Each structure stands twice: as structure tokens, then as C-alpha cells.
Structure 1
Amino acid sequence: MISTEERLDAVFHALSNRTRRQLIADLARCPARVNELARPYDMSVNAISKHLFVLEKAGLLERRQDGGTQSCALTPFALSEASQWIEHYRHYWTSQLDGLAGFVEGQADEE
């Protein structure tokens, strides 16, 4: 079993690539077969499959075998976990920036 930290590493690695983020957007519309996902990109089915493997390893999608083809669908848990991590730190940075704004406004009032 992998730790939460390892899962987050895998998710953020997967999301660090533009093509993989676009594949997630494509799959958010509906599940699709690998060859359908490859069609809009200027790359081979094999190259898209490698991107899908990274997404799958991160827990962002699952592949299903449908006869001779594979279909992919998003799985929400890993993205939800990453979103919670980001939200936690968004609150931190918002409070830090609010404090800085208050300090700067206080300095301007003194002048």
C-alpha cells in the first residue's frame, strides 16, 4: 500500500504535463477508448498510452478491457485528495497575503 505522500507525488507528477492535463479534460467529458484519445494529438497511440499509464499509476484513471480495445475513465479519489492538499495551503497563503496587505495599508496610513 502506498502512502498519501507517495500518491500526491504521483498525482502532481502526472498533472505536471500539458498533454496529461488535456487527457484528463477529455476524459472528464466521457470515458473513451485509447485510440479515440490519441486522435486529436500529434502522437502515436503508443505515446498516448504511455501518458495514460502515468495517469493510471497516479490513480487518476482506470483502464478497462473491452474485447480488443481498452477504454479509460477518470477516477475521482486521487484528484480529490490533491485538491484537499492544495486547498489547505490556499488558506495559508490567503491569510499570509491578507496580513501583508494589512501591514502595507497600515504603513500607507502612517505616511
Structure 2
Amino acid sequence: MDFVWAVAIQTLATGCVVLFVLAGFWLGIVRPHLDRKVAELIDASREIEPRVRQGVREGVEETLRELPESTVKESTRQFLRFGSGLFENGLSSFLGEVSDPGRKPRNDS
């Protein structure tokens, strides 16, 4: 019976020592390292949105600089023509009128 108690005590002591060493390794080395990494990630995530916003702004400015001037003028002219048509004639100039022969009447049934 003394042998069984000796093995049980030895197993319990070994388990406690291993648990103590693993807890010390976790609390002394792993956890502080993870805390530093999490803090770095939080700082990096706070910098992402301003950098993305700045990158998008620079990309749009660069694209507009690269467009030929005639393209910008023509698209602006078409947009103004479309907008003035809507303003002068109302939405009917855009959607068409009911008596428009090319337009089919809606059947809501």
C-alpha cells in the first residue's frame, strides 16, 4: 500500500509542478506578449480609416487629372442638358407622358 501512496503523491507533486511552471510561463511570457500585440492591432486599426480615406482621395484626384479635358467637359455638358430638361419640363421629359405611343400603359391587376 505504501507503493500506491508513493506513486499517488509523486503524480500529484509532478502535476502541481507542471501546472505551476505552465501558469508562470503563461502569466510571465505569453500573456504580456499577447497584450502588446493586441495593443498594436488596436493602434493599427485606428489608423486604417484615415489612411483609406486619404488613399481614395488621392486616387480620385489622380484619375481626374489623367482624364482628358474634353471628356470632363462633354460629360458635364450632358449632365447639365439632362438636368435642365428635368427642370424645365418636369419629370415627364424623363419618364415620358401617358399619351406617348411608345409607352405601354401599366396594368396593376
Structure 1 or 2: larger helix share? 2
Structure 1 or 2: larger strand share? 1
For the pair shown, the structure with the greater C-alpha radius of gyration is 2
TM score, norm. by length of structure 2: 0.33
